[in-house]
Amino acid sequence: MITLTEKAINAVGRFIASSETPTAGLRIEVTDGGCSGYQYGLKLETENTLEDTVIDCGTVKVFVAPTSMTMLDGMSVDFLDSIEGSGFKFINPNAAKSCACGSSFNTSASGTGTKTCS
């Protein structure tokens, strides 16, 4: 299960509304990099691929490729907006180690992906 908090859904909705191109949803991905081994990536997509897991989070659809799904199972995404800055916060139970900024992580064992959002 991947969850987006109400704040994250609202933030993504604002980004979609201000996009100059039609947007079908938000892609969440894991790529090599960062100081801990993997890093999160977010981008607006015009459409999903046939291989994607599509997660319906109310007003936002989330697209996740199979290669990323196992590392994101159980993750929650929040959006923080404070005097210190704003941005997405990832709470990932698969992350055995994270960097101080929270945008880079390393996993212990791979999980399995599901197709729900709460």
pLDDT given at position 55: 95
The mean-pLDDT minimum among 4-8, 32-36, 113-117 falls in 113-117
Distance CA 66, CA 29 (A): 10
Name the pLDDT band for 29 (thresholds 50, 70, 90): very high
Residues 6+ apart with CB under 8 A from 117: 1, 2, 3, 4, 55, 56, 57, 58, 62
Considering all CA atoms of the chain, what is the largest pairwise distance in Å, rounded to the nearest integer? 41
The span from the CA of 66 to the CA of 53, in Å, is 7
31 pLDDT band (50/70/90 cuts)?
Answer: confident
CB contact set of 20 (below 8 Å; sequence gap of 6+)? none
The predicted model scores a pTM of 0.79
Of 41, 48, 42, 44, nearest to 20 by C-alpha is 44
Mean pLDDT of 94-114: 54
Dihedral sign computed on CA atoms, order 84, 90, 26, 30: positive
Q: 99 falls in which pLDDT band (50, 70, 90)?
A: low
